[in-house]
Copies of this chain bind each other. A is one copy, B any other.
Amino acid sequence: MSATATARSSARRPTPPRRSRAAATGAKKGALDSRRGAFERYFAGVLPGASRVPQELHEAMRYSALSPGKRLRPMLALAACEAVGASWTRALPAAVAVECVHAFSLVHDDLPAMDDDDYRRGRLTTHKKFGEALGVLAGDALLALAFSELSRLESRGVPPKQVVEATRVLARAAGSEELVGGQALDLSAQGRATSARAVREIHLRKTGALIAAALDLGGIAGGASAAQRRTLARAGRELGLAFQIHDDLLNRLSSLGRLGKRSGTDEARGKATYPRAVGEARARLEAARLFQAALGRVLGLGPKARNLGHVVLAVAERDR
């Protein structure tokens, strides 16, 4: 794996970080790592056990959902809940719900009829490992599980009215005008010249909507006021767009060992990417500007938003 290590240290960062990596990954890193650990344990307990019938389907769901990842969306949901004044544990079902939707979308996007990817995060994609039928079904079941889990917010003391609102927000973010719609637009834009505005539209739907939903759901679970929800929603859109531009830049730069799939695949496919539409330099600047705007906005929520600020920084600084 020395080639990977070399690639890691020599690759340029797609976007300039706002603070030194040491500061971002210092004292707070431990606290956020332990929170992520708590999330992982909770998530593993929510997913149906691989010994339950139908075993193969449950195995495929666990394989898809528990693959190594940074859990950025759940961490955003948990920290947003804390930022509006509640305990982050209250948002655990929302964090799981968002991650289930994310996992569902990855499994389906990788299918042969879509992006046709064999690898994700350095492992075989779900349909390559379990077959195409189980790829479709595992994605379907993860989407259903998201709503099942979201309804468990009630048992954490979230008022039913807010749970219904959370359902509405997540269903919209996952649906035909946002996440799934973004994938449809992305596929139809392949191989065509696409304007910066059109790429922005795709990115906002395909990636921005679910990241915004993660923040919004965390806020709803924490009893956010209307003003707090507006702030989280705006920050979510900025962060979501920044995230995807950053992703486009990483996709350009990275090698198999870093992103876990072949680099430059977006370009090889003629995908609509931001660097392709506006040039790499402008894309870099735009991502930095958006990360900064989102960071400023969430920090404006007050002292309890510090952890949320750290998660936003972690999103900006991720290198895979």
Contacts and interface: CB of A to CB of B under 8 A. Distances in A.
Interface of A: 48, 52-54, 56-58, 61, 104, 108, 111, 113-114, 131-137, 139-141, 143-148, 150-151, 154, 159-161, 163-165, 167-168, 170-172, 174-177, 180-181, 183-185, 187-188
Contacts of A160: 159-161, 163-164
Contact of A113 (B136, B141, B174): B136
Given A54-B185, A167-B151, A181-B57, A144 B141 contact: no
Contact of A133 (B114, B143, B172): B114
B185 A171 contact: no
B140 A54 contact: no
Listed from nearest, the 4 A-B pairs whose CB atoms lie closest are A148-B171, A113-B132, A141-B176, A160-B160
A144 B177 CA distance: 11
Given A151-B164, A154-B164, A176-B145, A133 B187 contact: yes
A181 B148 contact: no
9 contacts: A113-B132, A133-B187, A140-B143, A141-B180, A143-B143, A143-B144, A144-B174, A148-B168, A148-B172
A137 B180 contact: yes
A172 B149 CA distance: 10
B148 A184 contact: no
Question: Looking at A53, A113, A134, A147, which has the most chain B CB atoms within 10 Å of its CB?
Answer: A147
A180 B144 contact: yes
B188 A56 contact: yes
B144 A176 contact: yes
Nearest to A183: B137
A171 B93 CA distance: 14
Contact of A141 (B114, B154, B181, B185): B181
Given A53-B185, A185-B53, A188-B54, A108 B140 contact: yes
**By CB atoms of chain B within 10 A, which of A56, A104, A148, A154 has the most?**
A148
A131 B188 CA distance: 12
Nearest to A158: B164
Given A140-B108, A151-B164, A161-B160, A176 B57 contact: yes
Contacts of A168: 148, 151
Contacts of A145: 171, 175-176
